[in-house]
Amino acid sequence: MASYQVLIQTADPKSREHNVLSRIDLLKHVNLLKEITQMRIFKFGRHWRLEDICFKPGSLDISNSSIAHALKPTLERLVPCVWISPIDCFF
């Protein structure tokens, strides 16, 4: 069992625009996502990364001769991550 994690961003109330789609707020969102994906912690005697608790279906089956093969790494990054956390053990 797994759960979906949702990151909700709201506009900065100090901003004149109050618009989450402003350049500044979108950059804040990108930087936060980068920070989350680069985060490393040490727990239970080992180092953990987001990839360690993120389940993704198997890799895409794209033929080496396909023009789409060059895009395979990018396409695989677009596949959403299902985060599995200890709380999922109780549901």
Domain locations in the chain as residue ranges = 1-38
What share of the chain has pLDDT > 90, as a percent? 5
At 33-64, the pLDDT tens digits run 788 878 898 989 999 888 777 777 777 788 89
Distance set, CA 41 to CA 36, 46, 48, 62, 85 (Å): 11, 8, 5, 34, 15
Q: What percent of the chain has pLDDT over 70?
A: 78
20 in Cβ contact with 48 (< 8 Å) = no
Report d(CA 80, CA 57) in Å as an integer: 9
Full-model pTM: 0.52
Q: What is the mean pLDDT of residues 22-28?
A: 80
H or E element: which one contains 24?
A: helix 23-38
**What is the average pLDDT across 15-33?**
79
Mean predicted lDDT score pLDDT of the chain: 76
Q: Determine the residue type at 40.
A: R
User: How far is residue 45's CA from residue 25's CA, in Å, rounded to a whole number?
Assistant: 37
pLDDT higher than 70, residue 67: yes
